[in-house]
Each structure stands twice: as structure tokens, then as C-alpha cells.
């Protein structure tokens, strides 16, 4: 890690269900750190440490423009938990609707009276080209061991349904499938265990980040997968290692709800 960190850079550390973010507010004209600096900032030993870096920039069509970067320096089109944290950063006035421009479109989000934040992540994209997959295939049962379900939530997701999450090598399998040749853009890999007609446990191995305590877009993808498979109906509670999220899908946008919190603010020395 011989990359100098951007001295003086102001940041906030936020988290949603233990999915943690370095938040850089660039609305005052500050430029985005270089890709190598982003990797250094995300490093848990030599930098600040996080699952993703989110930049918040100005937008003409929305309250702000969001970008998401993984610790390996790659950019993602979506990050559900960081999007929910952005609402808190922007004031989080209950009842006010925030419009947030992302690579996946303008998302609408709001803080609820109980402090939770929910966001409409937009409709899942279910075609094999949308995910994307390398070849034509039914996204409801991919031609892989375990016949997982795939969709795009603005980023690529694959969900395996397993009988026993604790008996599944989620990190080993997640790392192996992330780079499977079926996924030309790699993929986020989820492992879901249904625990009832409207509840599941979920672990997500995130593309470019590895094991995380929660993944909002992964929760949306797993919820949509369960509903498409007939395992749940419209709303599902999702328990992840770092906390609980809820997903609602009635055929249009996927609503994601859960906690979003400030941890601390700081300045790079």
C-alpha cells in the first residue's frame, strides 16, 4: 500500500446492517480520488476501511448523484445499503422523498418515522442479457450446480437456494462463482435459506468486496428470486449476518427497507 492517501480529504463512515461505507461528499466541487486512491482508502489496515466507497455529487435531475466503488477499485451500478445511507447523509427528513441519481436510474427513497430508510431500487431486470450472462439461458434456473436464479438490480446477482446456510461453504463457493465464465461482468453471489413463507436467511459474497455482513441489492435479488420461484409472496424479511432487511416486490420496483446509520466523520491525515 504505497499509494499516498488524499491528505485532508473529508469523509463520513456509515453503515446499513453492517454493510459499511466511506462516504465522500463531492458536491462542493472536490474531485473524486483516483481509482488507486479509492483502493487505498477502502483498505482496512492502511486506509479507512469499508465494503464500498460512495461518492455523492451534484445532480440537475435529482437531489444528488451517487456512485459506488468496491474495495478492488471497480465501480458498481447499484448499492442498496449505501443508497439508504445517502438519505441519512442528505438530512433524512421523515416523509420527504429523496431522488437519487445512480447509473441504474433515478431512485426514490425516504426515511420512515421509525428511523429506517427505504428505497425503490427499480424493477429487477430478468433477461439473460440484462444480468449479463455469457449465453442464452433461463434466469430462473441457471445451468450451474444448484440451478441458481439470476437478475440485475443495476448490478449482477445470482441466488442459490440452500437447505442449510450453516452447512454451506458460502465464502469458497461465492469466490468461485463470482468469476465463473458464465458471468462476463462477474457477479454478486447470494446463498438463501428459506425460514418461512415470508422469511429467509441470506449471505452474499459481493463482487469486488468478498464476504460482507449485508448486501441491499443482494437482498432485493434474493427476495425477487424467492417470489419468482413461488417460495414467497410480495414481501419477505431477510436476516443477514449484520442485521435485518425487508424486501417488497409487486411486479414493478423492488422496495428495500432497513437501518442506515452514521458511524463517524473524519479527515484523512
Q: Which is nearer to ligand LBFN2T5F, 37 or 212 (CB)?
A: 212
CB-neighbour burial class of residue 103 (10 A; exposed 0-12, middle 13-18, buried 19+): middle
Residue holding cell 468478498?
A: 210
Q: Where are the alpha helices (DSSP H) in the chain?
A: 35-42, 80-89, 170-178, 216-228
Q: Are 117 and 87 in contact (CB under 8 A)?
A: yes
216 is in an annotated binding site: yes
Candidates 50, 79, 151, 220; catalytic one: 79
Strands 199-206 and 235-240: parallel
DSSP assignment string, 84-102: HHHHHHTT--TTPEEEEEE
Report the residue number, 111 or 163, with the smaller CB distance to ligand LBFN2T5F. 111
Whole-angstrom Cα distance, residue 224 to residue 143? 19
72/129 Cα distance (integer angstroms): 25
**Is 215 part of the annotated catalytic residue set?**
yes
Q: Which is nearer to ligand LBFN2T5F, 60 or 90 (CB)?
A: 90
The residue (of 29 and 68) whose beta carbon lies closer to ligand LBFN2T5F is 68
Within residues 60-99, the interface with ligand LBFN2T5F by CB under 6 A covers 68, 70, 76, 78-81
Residue 259 sits in the site that holds ligand LBFN2T5F (CB under 6 A): no
**CA–CA gap between residue 80 and residue 83 (Å, rounded):** 5
Give least dist CB 242 to ligand LBFN2T5F, A: 11
CA 223 – CA 254 distance, rounded (Å)? 9
Count of other CB atoms within 10 angstroms of residue 186? 16
C-alpha distance from residue 159 to each of 51, 76, 188, 230 (Å): 20, 18, 9, 14
Task: Kindly state whether residue 19 participates in binding ligand LBFN2T5F, applying the rule CB under 6 A.
Answer: yes
By CB under 6 A, the count of residues binding ligand LBFN2T5F is 20
Q: Based on the shown chain and the rule CB under 6 A, indicate whether residue 217 belongs to the binding site for ligand LBFN2T5F.
A: yes
Is 208 an interacting residue with respect to ligand LBFN2T5F (CB under 6 A)? yes
Selecting among 50, 85, 151, 215, the annotated active-site residue is 215
By CB atoms closer than 10 A (0-12, 13-18, 19+), residue 106 is: middle
Nearest-approach distance from CB 215 to ligand LBFN2T5F, in angstroms = 4
Residues of span 122-161 touching ligand LBFN2T5F by CB under 6 A: 155
Active-site residue flag, 79 = yes
- In this chain, which of 37, 52, 55, 102 binds ligand LBFN2T5F, going by CB under 6 A? 52
Residues annotated within the binding site are: 19, 52, 70, 80-81, 155, 188, 206-207, 216-217
Residues annotated within the binding site for substrate are: 19, 52, 70, 80-81, 155, 188, 206-207, 216-217
Binding site for ligand LBFN2T5F (CB under 6 A): 19, 51-52, 68, 70, 76, 78-81, 155, 188, 206-209, 212, 215-217
Q: Give catalytic residues, as residue numbers.
A: 79, 215
Amino acid at each position: 500500500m504505497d499509494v499516498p492517501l488524499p491528505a485532508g480529504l473529508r469523509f463520513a463512515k456509515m453503515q446499513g446492517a453492517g454493510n459499511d461505507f466511506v462516504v465522500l461528499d463531492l458536491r462542493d466541487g472536490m474531485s473524486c480520488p483516483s481509482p488507486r486512491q479509492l483502493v487505498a482508502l477502502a483498505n482496512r489496515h492502511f486506509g479507512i476501511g469499508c465494503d464500498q466507497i460512495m461518492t455523492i455529487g451534484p445532480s440537475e435531475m435529482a437531489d444528488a448523484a451517487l456512485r459506488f466503488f468496491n474495495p478492488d477499485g471497480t465501480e458498481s451500478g447499484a448499492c442498496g445499503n449505501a443508497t439508504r445511507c445517502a438519505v441519512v447523509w442528505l438530512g433524512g427528513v421523515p416523509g420527504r422523498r429523496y431522488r437519487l441519481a445512480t447509473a441504474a436510474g433515478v431512485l426514490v427513497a425516504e426515511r420512515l418515522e421509525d428511523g429506517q430508510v427505504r428505497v425503490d431500487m427499480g424493477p429487477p431486470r430478468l433477461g439473460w442479457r440484462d444480468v449479463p450472462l455469457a449465453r442464452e439461458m433461463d434466469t430462473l434456473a441457471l445451468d450451474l450446480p444448484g440451478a441458481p436464479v439470476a437478475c440485475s438490480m443495476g448490478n449482477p446477482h445470482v441466488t442459490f437456494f440452500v437447505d442449510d446456510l450453516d452447512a454451506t461453504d458460502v465464502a469458497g463457493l461465492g469466490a468461485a462463482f463470482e468469476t465463473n465464465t458464465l458471468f462476463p461482468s462477474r457477479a454478486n453471489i447470494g446463498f438463501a435459506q428459506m425460514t418461512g413463507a415470508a422469511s429467509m436467511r441470506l449471505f452474499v459474497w459481493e463482487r469486488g468486496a468478498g464476504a460482507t455482513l449485508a448486501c441491499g441489492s443482494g437482498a432485493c435479488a434474493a427476495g425477487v428470486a424467492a417470489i419468482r420461484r413461488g417460495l414467497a409472496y410480495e414481501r419477505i424479511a431477510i436476516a443477514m449476518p449484520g442485521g435485518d432487511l425487508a424486501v417488497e416486490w409487486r411486479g414493478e420496483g423492488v422496495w428495500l427497507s432497513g437501518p442506515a446509520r452514521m458511524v463517524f466523520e473524519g479527515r484523512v491525515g
